[in-house]
Structure 1
């Protein structure tokens, strides 16, 4: 009886070992099985989500245009599109088609995504219709996209109100929309806002405020803002006159390849000297 009990235990242990081994193998095989379970929508999101798209599936990192794998993305996005997966998928398919050189199909599907309320699709489609001369539709699309929180559309509205494109010129509204884009980190919007305040054509001139936005754009690496802020520092317009600071910022812009800044730096450095000559040499090495 004792021997039988021991045998029974050995058999039980053998069965337990087999079960554990099977579960271990199943666990090893699980990740590929889960990967294989991704839907066409998931794969399209993974392969074609844009960093500028606030409506993209945040479960996957954004994919730069140059990094898209056309074969995988196009197959998945087409399948998801055929499943009527919505405006986000329409936009992503249009994006992949454009990268693949299928411009006519891309434009058609982009218009669908815009019609169905996808903010980035509206912004991109607005640019295309504007290039075809329909600036009123361009303006209307940017209004809708900006209302949905798209920063590119906010910037485009700033340009529209500044230049009177598709609407009457309005300096106050141009500043408002440029400021929204600026708050989202756009250096060009900050620069354009500063220029409006600096020039005083659309709104009363406010050099002190202009200088603040120039500084913000400079912090974000905008070379044109460096030049304009350097001129303000040189003359004391809107800021305390500071030739040393002006010289430093002209030097920074010159190092980025700006020819005007290079001349201003040389001028404030007292003409030709060793430092100016070294700048002239290093600013051309890329």
Structure 2
């Protein structure tokens, strides 16, 4: 944005000229507009008492807002402040490691050195972060062996993210032989610590490897928990799994509800499946119109299957009904989703749906 760039340059000029009050106002205007450079500049002023009283809490708040927007200098400085004030407090050291990891992944060399230092001191969060960087090759050389050692150390110390990433490594075969049982062990560890994606991955793994269910149980509770915690992929996967049961055991209402949750979160495959169930031979006009609406949304998302289904529905609905269905599709599109696909911050490599 040329305008924002010019405004920032003007604010920096005021700062360098010693007009700190005017500079502060200019940086505040930038920050209120969501510009991380404005937040960073305000953080520096509060950290060093330039034109404002020195206030490290204010500095951290501004650094954090800039860091959350991916501003690498803020990520480094926030990590440094947290590390300096940690005095052995594990939660502050862990947060510092988180921000050093984020900055190091973007190539910030000083952040990487700090992270490596914390890892050498045995800080579990730092080992988890450094392991993830070596797993993905972000900011460091890709080294699955190094990643494995770091992540195992962190996971055994209870770092959830590390357990999840070990699950990915064992399931995919990164740095280790592919081993579904080991993957399930690590996914379960992370899922029990409330990692939603780990629960989804474990449920999916158990659905694909039924020989593991004697030890790890049915996929259903893992997928249901992940769906309840906001993962649309899990809702869709659970609906598919439930549909594979003998017809007498299928809870049609529950299956429809799960498909609808995933469909409302924008998942095209769920939209197609929901429409398919709505458009059965005994469907009334309202159900067919709703099926048409969901199919239309799936078509707009690029589903080839939905395109073929839409042609079939065209033959079943009058022009006026199709117009009502299109209006319903717009309403569905504009409505806020019941929930959205969950993410877990700072984790490597999501598995394909």
TM-score range for the pair, normalised by the shorter chain length: 0.5 to 0.7
User: What is the Cα deviation at residue 182 of structure 1?
Assistant: 0.8
What do the CA deviations read for 1:4-55 (whole angstroms, capped 9, x no partner)? Answer: xxxxxxxxxxxxxxxxxxxxxxxxxxxxxxxxxxxxxx958x938xxxxxxx
What do the CA deviations read for 1:234-273 (whole angstroms, capped 9, x no partner)? Answer: 2316993123321221111110000010011110001672
Identify if the C-alpha distance between structure 1 residues 121 and 72 changes in structure 2 by more than 3 Å, giving closer, same or farther. Answer: closer
Separation of aligned partners in 1, 2:224 and 2:157:
29
Q: TM-score, normalised by structure 2?
A: 0.55
TM alignment of 1:127-206, pairs within 5 A: 127-130=132-135, 131=137, 132-200=141-209, 203=212
Separation of aligned partners in 2, 1:187 and 1:79:
28
Report the equivalent of 1:262: 271
**Aligned residues between the structures:** 233
- Considering only aligned residues, what root-mean-square deviation do their CA atoms show, in Å? 4.2
Report the equivalent of 1:274: 289
Alignment match of 2:123 (pick from 101, 105, 118): 118
Q: Which runs of 4+ in 1 moved over 4 A?
A: 67-73, 78-81, 83-91, 204-208, 277-280
Alignment match of 2:77 (pick from 70, 74, 77): 74
User: What is the Cα deviation at residue 156 of structure 1?
Assistant: 1.0
Identify if the C-alpha distance between structure 1 residues 239 and 77 changes in structure 2 by more than 3 Å, giving closer, same or farther. Answer: farther
Question: Looking at both structures, which has the greater relative contact order when contacts are Cα pairs under 8 Å and sequence separation is at least 6?
Answer: 2
Separation of aligned partners in 2, 1:79 and 1:210:
41
Separation of aligned partners in 2, 1:232 and 1:206:
19
Separation of aligned partners in 1, 2:275 and 2:192:
35
Larger radius of gyration: 1
What do the CA deviations read for 1:43-84 (whole angstroms, capped 9, x no partner)? Answer: 58x938xxxxxxxxxxxxx98942899779838936965x99
TM alignment of 1:91-110, pairs within 5 A: 92=96, 95=99, 98=103, 103-110=108-115
SS at match of 2:249: coil
Report the equivalent of 2:18: none
SS at match of 1:168: coil
What do the CA deviations read for 1:191-222 (whole angstroms, capped 9, x no partner)? Answer: 11111111118846899701221111111111
CA contact (8 A) 2:128 2:162 kept: yes
Separation of aligned partners in 2, 1:194 and 1:154:
16
